[in-house]
Amino acid sequence: RKEVEQDPGPFNVPEGATVAFNCTYSNSASQSFFWYRQDCRKEPKLLMSVYSSGNEDGRFTAQLNRASQYISLLIRDSKLSDSATYLCVVNGSPNSGYALNFGKGTSLLVTP
């Protein structure tokens, strides 16, 4: 089983829509959770950390459910500039120095 699993999409939504991405992770001992954004042919960039109590950054809301080992990202009022691939990221085991494990990403296309 992959460490981090995401629906690859693509998600095609109109401008202004609300879209949600989900992710599951396999290591119940994981402590660090993130969402990254990756534009086409560019490097991944940190979008936001995910905290146990849930957190919000402008139009973006992240939720963590430790019991279900499930992470979500909600984007409200989608903009054309939100079009990108969103990577769910979870820290790995001590054997890998807690290095981050990346999901394969969910592709979002926001259309006019």
Partner 1 sequence: NAGVTQTPKFQVLKTGQSMTLQCAQDMNHNSMYWYRQDPGMGLRLIYYSASEGTTDKGEVPNGYNVSRLNKREFSLRLESAAPSQTSVYFCASSEGQFSYGYTFGSGTRLTVV
> Which of 10-18, 39-47, 59-67, 68-76 is the region at the interface with partner 1 (rule: CB under 8 A)?
39-47
- Exposure string of 59-90, with b = 16+ CB inside 10 Å and e = fewer, is ebbbbbeeeebebbbebeebeeebbbbbbbbb
* Cα 27 from Cα 37, distance rounded (Å): 22
Task: Examine residue 21 and tell whether it contacts partner 1 (CB under 8 A).
Answer: no
Query: 12 and 111 in contact (C-beta within 8 Å)?
Result: yes
Task: Examine residue 110 and tell whether it contacts partner 1 (CB under 8 A).
Answer: no
Task: Examine residue 99 and tell whether it contacts partner 1 (CB under 8 A).
Answer: yes
Backbone angles phi, psi at 96, to 5 degrees: -110, 20
- Nearest distance, CB of residue 104 and partner 1, angstroms: 4
Task: Examine residue 60 and tell whether it contacts partner 1 (CB under 8 A).
Answer: no
Residue 20 vs 99, nearer CB to partner 1: 99
Q: Enumerate binding residues for partner 1 (CB under 8 A).
A: 31-32, 34, 36, 42-46, 49, 87, 89, 91-92, 96-105
